[in-house]
Each structure stands twice: as structure tokens, then as C-alpha cells.
Amino acid sequence: MKYVLHAALLLLGAGLLAGCETVSKEQCLAGDWSEIGRAHAAQGYPSSRFEEVTKDCGRHGVTPDPQAYMSGWSEGVLLYCTPLNGFNLGQQNTSLSPICPPNLAGEAERAHRLGQRLWSSRDRLTSLERRIDERQREIDRLNADLGRVNCSDKSGDELTTCRNRQNDLRQKVQDARFNIQEARFELNDRRRDYEATRWQVEEEARRTIPGYR
């Protein structure tokens, strides 16, 4: 599946957002408040993040410009609150920030729900694949345990206990194989469901989300 991510715009602040601080000392001294505000909004941060910027820069004796920050932040909101970004966040199962104004929120939220449909279908598929892998590892462990149980030198009650242990392990292996077989049948259904959902979602996205490819 191919689609445009607005990567250059939405990730323009990746360097700004790294680390524990909202901004670094170097960024405070550089004082590009508009760019910082734009980057924060493009990542979904609320305008209240400016308070953290003020605290961080205050440690370095720098006072940020609130007007410049908010000017950039408003521009960043336009980058964040797009249907395409909403869709991408939805298919990553990432919440949509509430920073979008009413005139932009509706389309972004609708696209976000569409992306979540794809994520949900894919997650059901991958969850079952993980479950099958876990069952197979369980079978391998049980077979290894069974191989370590040696009853040839046992007699009397010890032999009975040993054989019971063997039988118990064999039954667990059999049960696990039955479960994994059932899961593999279900996996085929989930793969078909996912492919159908993916086709439907992509068709709707191409019709309704500007910039989707």
C-alpha cells in the first residue's frame, strides 16, 4: 500500500522533540520560536506546551516569544489536522490529538476512524499469527520435556509416576497440536477478512482523502 505521509512537514520537528526536554539549550539560544511552535503542533502537542518551553529555556536565561511560538503553532495545526494525517495515525492505532479546530476536526476524525478499521483488521490477523507461534513454541517445549523423561531405569511406584508424566506430556502435546490446527484454519479466514478490509479501506481513502496514494 502506497500513500503520501507528509513526512517532510509532519516530521520537520523530529530533532526539536528528541530527548526529555521540550527544547534544548541550543534551540533556546537560537530562538526560532515560530519553528518550534510549528513543530510541536505538527506532532499534535497543544499550545500549552509553550509553558514547558518557557520553563526549559528559563533554565538557560532565555525568554521565549509567545507570539512567534503561537504563530508557528497555528501553522503546525494545519499540518497536523489533515485527513491524511488522521488516517495515518488511525492505522498506527495512535490517538488523534484534540488540537484540531471544528472546521478541520470532522474530516480528520473520519479519516482516523477509517485508518483504525485497517489497523483493527490487521491486528486481529497478527494477534492470531502470534498465538500460533506461541503454540508451536509450546509444542517444542513439551516435546523437549518429553524427551528428557526416561522411564527405563524405573520400577514400582517410580515407574508408574514416570509413565504418568509421559502420558501427561503426550496429552498436552496432542491438545496443543489440536489447538494450533484450529487456529490455522481460523488464520485463513482472518487473512481473507484483512484483504477484503484493506481493499475497501484503500478504495474509500482514495476517494475521500486528498493526497492518498
Q: What is the pLDDT of residues 16-63, one digit of tens each?
A: 444 457 899 999 999 999 999 999 999 999 999 999 999 999 999 999
What confidence tens digit (pLDDT) does each residue in 113-164 have? 999 999 999 999 999 999 999 999 999 999 999 999 999 888 898 999 999 9
Which amino acid is present at 66? P
CA dihedral angle for residue 96, residue 97, residue 103, residue 108, rounded to 10 degrees: -20
- DSSP E strands in 23-154: the ranges are none
Determine the pLDDT at residue 213: 83
**Contact (CB, 8 A) for 10 and 85:** yes
Summarize pLDDT for 159-204 with one digit per residue, the tens: 999 999 999 999 999 999 999 999 999 999 999 999 999 999 999 9
CB pairs under 8 A, 24+ apart, for 199-206?
201/114, 201/115, 201/117, 201/118, 202/1, 204/114, 205/3, 205/87, 205/111, 205/114
Residues in the chain: 213
Q: Tell me what pLDDT residue 20 has.
A: 58
Report if pTM > 0.75.
yes
- Cell readout for 16 is 526539536
pLDDT (0 to 100) of residue 13: 43
From residue 159, alpha-carbon distances to 102, 142, 145, 162 in Å are: 76, 20, 17, 5
Q: Which pLDDT does position 28 carry in this prediction? A: 94
**Residues 94-117: what's their mean pLDDT?**
97
Band of pLDDT at residue 9, cut at 50, 70 and 90: very low
If pLDDT is split at 50, 70 and 90, which confidence band does 4 have? very low
What ranges do the domains of the chain cover? 7-115, 123-208
